[in-house]
C-alpha cells in the first residue's frame, strides 16, 4: 500500500485520481491570444509546477482554470467540465486561487481576510480553521486585527495562502508565490507548501519563475513558452535537464 | 458675539448637517462599492420622499410606516436600476457610469416633475413639534433632536450591517479588491446591487427627514442643493467611511450655518462655500478626514 503510493509519485501520479485535466487550452485577453493549445494535468495530492519566463502565459493559464478569462478547449476538474463556469462557481467546486501579487484585501483586517476566504462555506467550523492557519503561520495570529495592507510581502503571501485554504479546497492554484520576496522567505514559503501537501494531501498547481525552488518541492513540472508546453516531466528530471538548467536555473 | 444667536446657528448646523450626512452615507455606500459618486443619489432620495408622501398623505398610512415602505420601494427600484443600467458596463471605466448617473439625475427629476409638478407640498411631520430645550432665546427643536437621532442610528445600523453580517463582509471585500472577492466565491454583481439598494433606502430616509422640516416642503428640485452639500460632506469624511460621512455632514452644516454668516459671506454663496471646502479637501487631503489612505505594501 505504502509502496504503491511511493510508486505513483515516481511515475507521475498515474495511479491516482485525476484532479485537473486540461486539453488544447486557448485563450487570452480580448484580441490578444496568449495560450495556443496547452495540455497538462494534475493528479490527486501532487504538486505540479508550471515554469516559464515573463509573458509565457503562466498567469493566464491559472486565470483560465479559475474562470477569470474566456477560453476554448477543455478544462475538466474531477471529470466535470468547468470550462464555461464563472470564477465564483469554480471556487464552490473546490478550486482556490492565490492570485499573482497575493490579492489580499488591504483595507480588511487579517482575520476578516481569512473569514472572507470561508465565504462559500456553510458549516460552523470557520473559527476553528482560522485558529488552525494561525498555528501554521503564527505571525498572522499576532497581526489578526491589523489591516492586511500593513503586512510585509511575505506575511501577505502567508495570508493569501491561508485565505485560499479557508475555502477547504480540493485544488490550490498558486501564482508566482515567490514574486518580490527575499530568498530566505521564499525558501520558507515553499517548505511550508511541501509540509501542507504532505500533511493534508492538498493538490497544488504552482506557476513559478523560480524554477530551482519550485522543482525542489514539486512532483512534476511543465515548461511553457509562448503559450505552448515545450517540455514536461518529473521534477527531478527537469532539475537535471541541461536545457532547463540553462534557460531557467541560470547554470 | 451674541451667544443665543450662536447657539441657534449651532442647532441649525446640526439639523442641516445631519441631513447632509444621511445623503452622504448613501453616497459612501455606492462609493465604497464602485469608487463612483452617484450624482443621481439626491434625485433617488427625492423620488423616495415622494413615495413616502403618496403612502402617508394620499393613502393614509402612518407616517413612519410610509417611510419604511418608501425605503423598501426605493431599494428595490435602485436594485433594478443597478441591474439594468449599471452592471452591463465595465466597473473600472468611470466615465460612462458617471454619464449614466447624470442621465438618471435628469430623468428622475423630469419624471417627478411630470407626475407631481413643481408645486410645493407640505410633508407630514416625522417628529413632535415644539422645542426640546430653550437656552436664553435659543431653542433646540424636537425636529433637530429627531434628525440627529435618526442620523446616528442609521450610521450605527450601517456599521453593524457592514461589520457583523456575511453580506457586509462580502461588500467590504468587493470594495477592497473586486478580483480577489470573485476568487473566494463572492458574486460581485449581486453584492454591488445590495450596496445600491441600501444607499437608496438611506437616501429616502434622508430626504424624508429633510423635507419633514416644518420650514421646508417637498418638490422635485428640493434635493439638488442638498446633494452638493452631501458630496462635499462625503469627500470631507473620506468618501469610504461611514462615520466620516457623519463628521463631514455636520462639519459642512456648521460651515453653512456658522462660518458663512459670521464671515459675512452672502447666503447665496453658501453653496459655493461647500464647494470651496470640497476643493480644499481634494487638494490637501484627498483621502478626507477618515478615509482610507492608499497605502499598501507589496
Between B104 and B287, the more confident residue is B104
CA distance A245 to chain B (A): 29
Residue of A119, A157, A173, A179 to mutate for B, most B C-beta atoms under 10 A: A119
Of B176, B292, B298, Cβ closest to residue A153: B298
Strand partners, A233: A221
> How do strand A95-98 and strand A171-175 relate by DSSP bridges?
parallel
In the predicted structure, residue B35 carries a pLDDT above the cut 80: yes
Contacts of range A24-32, beta carbons closer than 8 Å, 24 or more positions apart:
A24/A72, A24/A73, A24/A74, A25/A61, A25/A64, A25/A71, A25/A72, A25/A73, A25/A74, A25/A75, A26/A71, A26/A72, A26/A73, A27/A60, A27/A64, A27/A69, A27/A70, A27/A71, A27/A72, A27/A73, A28/A60, A28/A69, A29/A60, A29/A69
Residue ranges of chain B whose CB lies within 8 Å of a chain A CB: 166, 169-170, 172-173, 175-177, 179-188, 292, 295-298
Query: Can you list the pairs that A241-249 forms with residues at least 24 positions away whose Cβ atoms lie under 8 Å?
Result: A244/A51, A244/A211, A247/A53, A247/A223, A248/A51, A248/A53, A248/A209, A248/A211, A248/A223, A249/A211, A249/A212
Percentage of chain A beyond pLDDT 90 is 80
Query: Cell triple for residue A164?
Result: 485560499
Confidence at residue B14, expressed as pLDDT on a 0 to 100 scale: 96
Confidence band (pLDDT; 50, 70, 90) for B140?
very high
**Size of chain B, expressed as the number of residues it contains:** 298
When pLDDT is cut at 50, 70 and 90, the band that residue A5 belongs to is very low
Q: Which of A132-136, B20-24, B84-88, B272-276 has the lowest mean pLDDT?
A: B272-276
Q: Which residue of B has its CA nearest to A117?
A: B184
- Rounded mean pLDDT, B191-197: 96
Q: Ramachandran region of residue B251, left (φ > 0), alpha (ψ -120 to 50) or beta? A: alpha
Q: Which residue's entry shows cell 485525476? A: A18
pLDDT over 50 at B16, yes or no: yes
* Maximum mean pLDDT: which of A176-180, A230-234, B69-73: B69-73
Asked if the Cβ–Cβ distance from B176 to A117 is below 8 Å, we say: no
* Strand order through the sheet with A203-208: A95-98, A171-175, A203-208, A47-51, A220-225, A228-234
Cβ neighbours of A180 in B, within 8 Å: 298
Express each pLDDT in A198-211 by its tens digit: 999 999 999 998 88
CB pairs under 8 A between A and B: 82
Q: pLDDT at position B95, please?
A: 93
Nearest to A65 by CA among A207, A177, A246: A207
Q: Choose from B35, B185, B189 for mutation: most chain A CBs within 10 A.
A: B185
B143 has a pLDDT exceeding 60: yes
pLDDT of residue B234: 94
Domains of chain B, by residue range, sit at 25-223
CB–CB contact B185 A149 (8 Å): no
% of chain B exceeding 90 in pLDDT: 79
Chain A: give the shortest CA distance to residue B26, in Å.
20
Summary mean pLDDT of chain B: 93
Report the distance separating Cα A212 and Cα A235, nearest Å.
10
- Residue pLDDT, tens place only, B211-231: 999 999 999 999 999 999 999
Contacts of A163 in chain B (CB under 8 A): 184
C-alpha cell at A77: 476538474
A60-64, B51-55, B117-121, B265-269: range with lowest mean pLDDT: B265-269
> How confident is the model at residue B278, as a pLDDT?
81
Q: Residue A242 pLDDT > 50, yes or no? A: yes
pLDDT per residue over B146-168, tens digit each? 999 999 999 999 999 999 999 99
Q: How far apart are CA A114 and CA A166, in angstroms?
A: 6
A91 with B184: Cβ contact below 8 A: yes
- Whether the per-residue pLDDT at B293 is higher than 80: the answer is no
pLDDT of B77 over the 90 cut: yes
Q: What is the mean pLDDT of residues A22-48?
A: 94
Per-residue confidence at A113, pLDDT binned at 50, 70, 90? very high
Measured between CA atoms, the residue of chain B closest to residue A166 is B184
A88 CB near a chain B CB, below 8 Å? yes
Q: Which residues of A touch B33 (CB under 8 A)?
A: none
pLDDT at A14 (0 to 100): 54
pLDDT of residue A251: 54
- For residue range A69-87, list pLDDT tens digits in order: 999 999 999 999 999 999 9
Measuring CA to CA, which residue among A207, A210, A218 is closest to residue A43? A218
As a whole number, the mean pLDDT across chain A is 91
Residue A2: pLDDT band (50, 70, 90) is: very low
The alpha carbon of B21 is separated from its chain's Cα centroid by a whole number of angstroms, namely: 6
Cell numbers given for A126:
470557520
Amino acid at each position: 500500500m505504502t509502496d504503491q503510493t511511493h510508486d505513483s509519485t515516481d511515475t507521475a501520479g498515474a495511479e491516482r485520481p485525476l484532479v485537473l485535466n486540461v486539453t488544447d487550452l486557448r485563450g487570452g485577453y480580448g484580441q490578444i491570444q496568449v495560450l495556443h493549445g496547452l495540455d497538462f494535468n494534475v493528479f490527486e495530492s501532487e504538486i505540479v509546477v508550471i515554469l516559464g519566463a515573463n509573458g509565457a502565459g503562466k498567469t493566464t493559464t491559472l486565470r483560465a482554470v479559475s474562470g477569470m478569462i474566456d477560453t476554448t478547449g477543455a478544462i475538466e476538474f474531477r471529470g466535470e467540465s468547468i470550462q464555461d463556469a464563472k470564477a465564483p462557481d469554480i471556487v464552490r467546486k473546490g478550486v482556490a486561487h492565490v492570485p499573482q501579487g497575493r490579492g489580499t484585501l488591504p483595507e480588511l483586517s487579517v482575520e476578516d481576510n481569512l473569514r472572507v476566504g470561508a465565504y462559500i462555506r456553510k458549516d460552523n467550523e470557520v473559527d476553528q480553521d482560522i485558529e488552525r492557519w494561525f498555528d501554521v503561520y503564527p505571525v498572522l495570529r499576532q497581526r489578526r486585527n491589523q489591516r492586511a495592507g500593513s503586512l510585509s510581502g511575505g506575511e501577505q503571501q502567508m495570508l493569501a495562502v491561508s485565505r485560499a485554504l479557508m475555502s477547504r479546497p480540493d485544488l490550490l492554484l498558486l501564482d508566482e508565490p515567490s514574486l518580490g520576496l527575499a530568498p530566505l522567505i521564499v525558501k520558507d514559503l515553499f517548505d511550508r507548501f511541501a509540509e501542507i501537501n504532505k500533511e493534508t494531501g492538498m493538490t497544488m498547481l504552482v506557476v513559478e519563475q523560480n524554477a530551482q525552488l519550485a522543482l525542489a518541492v514539486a512532483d512534476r513540472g511543465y515548461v511553457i513558452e509562448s503559450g505552448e508546453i515545450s517540455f514536461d516531466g518529473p521534477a527531478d528530471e527537469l532539475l537535471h535537464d541541461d536545457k532547463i538548467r540553462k534557460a531557467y536555473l541560470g547554470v | 458675539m451674541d451667544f443665543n444667536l450662536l447657539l441657534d446657528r449651532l442647532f441649525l448646523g446640526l439639523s442641516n448637517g445631519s441631513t447632509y450626512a444621511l445623503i452622504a452615507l448613501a453616497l459612501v455606500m455606492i462609493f465604497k462599492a464602485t469608487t463612483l459618486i452617484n450624482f443621481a443619489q439626491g434625485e433617488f432620495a427625492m423620488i423616495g420622499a415622494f413615495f413616502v408622501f403618496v403612502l402617508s398623505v394620499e393613502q393614509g398610512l402612518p407616517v413612519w410606516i410610509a417611510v419604511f415602505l418608501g425605503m423598501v420601494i426605493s431599494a428595490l427600484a435602485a436594485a433594478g436600476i443597478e441591474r439594468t443600467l449599471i452592471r452591463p458596463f465595465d466597473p473600472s471605466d468611470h466615465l460612462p457610469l458617471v454619464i449614466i448617473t447624470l442621465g438618471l439625475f435628469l430623468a428622475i427629476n423630469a419624471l417627478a416633475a411630470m407626475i407631481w409638478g413643481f408645486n410645493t407640498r407640505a410633508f407630514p411631520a416625522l417628529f413632535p413639534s415644539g422645542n426640546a430645550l430653550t437656552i436664553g432665546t435659543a431653542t433646540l427643536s424636537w425636529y433637530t433632536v429627531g434628525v440627529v437621532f435618526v442620523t446616528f442610528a442609521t450610521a450605527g445600523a450601517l456599521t453593524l450591517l457592514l461589520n457583523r453580517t456575511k453580506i457586509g463582509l462580502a461588500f467590504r471585500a468587493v470594495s477592497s479588491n473586486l478580483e480577489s472577492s470573485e476568487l473566494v466565491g463572492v458574486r460581485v454583481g449581486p453584492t454591488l446591487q445590495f450596496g445600491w439598494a441600501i444607499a437608496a433606502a438611506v437616501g429616502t430616509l434622508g430626504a424624508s427627514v429633510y423635507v419633514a422640516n416644518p420650514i421646508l416642503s417637498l418638490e422635485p428640485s428640493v434635493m439638488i442643493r442638498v446633494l452638493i452639500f452631501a458630496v462635499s460632506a462625503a469627500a470631507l469624511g473620506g468618501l469610504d467611511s461611514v462615520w466620516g460621512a457623519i463628521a463631514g455632514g455636520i462639519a459642512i452644516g456648521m460651515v453653512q450655518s456658522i462660518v458663512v454668516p459670521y464671515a459675512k459671506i452672502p447666503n447665496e454663496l453658501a453653496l459655493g462655500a461647500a464647494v470651496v471646502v470640497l476643493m480644499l479637501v481634494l487638494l490637501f487631503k484627498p483621502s478626507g478626514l477618515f478615509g482610507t489612505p492608499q497605502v499598501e505594501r507589496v
